[in-house]
């Protein structure tokens, strides 16, 4: 398949975003009196991976299960490397 030569929307030539849907849970331990503990964020790496690209201006998009996604392997790979380093935190 043909690889993307420039990283712009193929329909309108505007900026595209690569996105990753992260699987996380926010958990609370329930104390004997019914109150909740402080929240904990738990990353679930066993879930289905969801990712894709979308244009910031028009309605063009491509998702991980689409055949066309193979054309964007290098963009997806670079985005995935950065997404793996994201650390989520809770606002207190």
The pLDDT of residue 3: 55
Q: What is the pLDDT of residues 20-59, one digit of tens each?
A: 988 888 899 999 999 999 888 887 777 677 899 999 999 9
Of the chain, the end-to-end C-alpha distance in Å amounts to 48
Q: What is the pLDDT of residues 65-87, one digit of tens each?
A: 888 888 888 898 899 888 888 87
C-alpha torsion 36→40→41→43, nearest 10: -110
pLDDT at 90 over 50: yes
């Amino acid at each position: 398949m043909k690889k993307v030569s420039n990283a712009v929307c193929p329909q309108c030539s505007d900026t595209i975003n690569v996105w990753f849907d992260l699987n996380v849970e926010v958990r609370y331990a329930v104390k004997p009196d019914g109150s909740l503990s402080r929240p904990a964020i738990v990353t679930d790496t066993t879930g289905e991976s969801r990712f894709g690209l979308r244009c910031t201006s028009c309605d063009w998009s491509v998702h991980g299960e689409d055949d066309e996604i193979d054309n964007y392997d290098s963009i997806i790979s670079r985005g995935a490397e950065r997404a793996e380093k994201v650390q989520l935190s809770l606002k207190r």
